[in-house]
Amino acid sequence: MLQSMHISTSALKSVQYALDTTGNNLANIDTVGYKGKDATFSDLLTDTLNKQPDKDKAERTTPKGFTYGNGVRISASKTDYSQGAAKVTEVPTDLMLEGPGAFLVSRSTNGGQGEELRFIRNGNFKLTPSGSSQAGQELMNLTTATGDLLVDERGIAIEVPPGDLKILPDGTVNVNGQATTYKIPVYKMTDPSQFTQMGDNEYLVRVPIDELRLVNQDGEPTLTSIRQGALEMSNVSMDKEMSNLIIAQRAYQLNARALSIGDQMMSITNMLRNR
């Protein structure tokens, strides 16, 4: 009975994590650039009993050894990096990545004394004053909703003068038909150890910028392009998440019931022993 209660308890913890993952996916179904997650399970330690008597071997229909487990656990929470659907906005500062990769933004830390580099797929940028000017014109930065600055390959914040902003598919920045000195890079996200998922749908980069690899470099075929005037929506599927939610709820109810029955059986056993 204790063994069954331990198994049910471990299953309840794992299923609760799966429910939380599904709930988080559903809550972000309309979040720009959000990538869904899947919880995967694995068995805990298993064991085999080989002490069964041989006298009933002729009538036995099962193997001599009996294998039993000790429950399940969450083995991993995998992120689905597949492409999300496009939402056309016609806003010049809305940028969508068509293909793998991510934008790189810089966030000030320690009161402006330091900075953190972060990957994002959310291309919902805004133009904000940079505090500098060129030829008598105030320059503007491309920033996220949280104030993070979009940077180029050198890690320098992109600055553009006011005017007709045009972003080419390769990331070249043009204003009023004239090319600027800036180009929006797209970085690879192939090594999960290089970044940590943070809030605001961003990934903290833990390596220097010169160690990051760009998409479409080293003679590789063109895999990713930047689409201006559109946003990549979440890749979460409502049908899939609702199915996962129903399955997880049924599993939770089953294990909760098994735990309750095990508790009742132990109570009955204690009552019999006390008589």
Asked whether residue 114 falls in the same domain as residue 171, the answer is: yes
Asked whether residue 260 falls in the same domain as residue 200, the answer is: no
Judge whether 60 lies within some domain. Answer: no
Q: What is the pLDDT of residue 70?
A: 74
Asked whether residue 214 falls in the same domain as residue 91, the answer is: yes
Q: Which helix (H) or strand (E) holds 254?
A: helix 238-273
Asked whether residue 179 falls in the same domain as residue 198, the answer is: yes
Asked whether residue 101 falls in the same domain as residue 207, the answer is: yes
**Which tokens is 190 given?**
């192939």
Per-residue pLDDT of the chain (275 residues; tens, 9 = 90+): 667 777 888 888 889 999 999 999 999 999 999 999 998 887 776 666 665 566 556 666 666 666 666 778 887 788 888 899 999 999 999 999 999 899 999 988 776 667 889 999 999 999 999 888 877 788 999 999 888 999 998 889 999 988 899 999 989 999 998 888 889 999 988 776 677 888 778 889 888 888 888 887 666 666 789 999 999 999 999 999 999 999 999 999 988 998 888 888 888 888 887 76
Asked whether residue 129 falls in the same domain as residue 204, the answer is: yes
Judge whether 196 lies within some domain. Answer: yes
Q: What is the pLDDT of residue 54?
A: 60
Judge whether 109 lies within some domain. Answer: yes
In whole angstroms, give the CA distance from residue 250 to residue 204. Answer: 36
Judge whether 220 lies within some domain. Answer: yes
Q: What is the pLDDT of residue 168?
A: 93
Task: Quickly count: other Cβ atoms within 10 Å of residue 186's Cβ.
Answer: 22
Domain count, the chain: 2
Q: What is the pLDDT of residue 42?
A: 78
Asked whether residue 126 falls in the same domain as residue 172, the answer is: yes
CA proximity to 208, closest of 114, 116, 113: 116
The phi, psi pair for 36, rounded to 5°, reads: -70, 160
Asked whether residue 94 falls in the same domain as residue 228, the answer is: yes
Range of the domain at 14: 2-51+65-81+236-273
Asked whether residue 122 falls in the same domain as residue 205, the answer is: yes
Q: What is the pLDDT of residue 61?
A: 66
Q: What is the pLDDT of residue 20?
A: 92
Asked whether residue 123 falls in the same domain as residue 251, the answer is: no
Asked whether residue 140 falls in the same domain as residue 159, the answer is: yes
CA proximity to 187, closest of 208, 166, 168, 165: 208
Q: What is the pLDDT of residue 237?
A: 93
Asked whether residue 179 falls in the same domain as residue 95, the answer is: yes
Judge whether 57 lies within some domain. Answer: no
CA proximity to 183, closest of 212, 150, 206, 222: 150
> Could you tell me if 143 and 160 are in contact, meaning their C-beta atoms sit under 8 angstroms apart?
no
Judge whether 56 lies within some domain. Answer: no
Q: What is the pLDDT of residue 165?
A: 93
Judge whether 124 lies within some domain. Answer: yes
Q: Tokens 């068995």 identify what position?
A: 43
Judge whether 59 lies within some domain. Answer: no
Q: Tell me the residue length of the chain.
A: 275
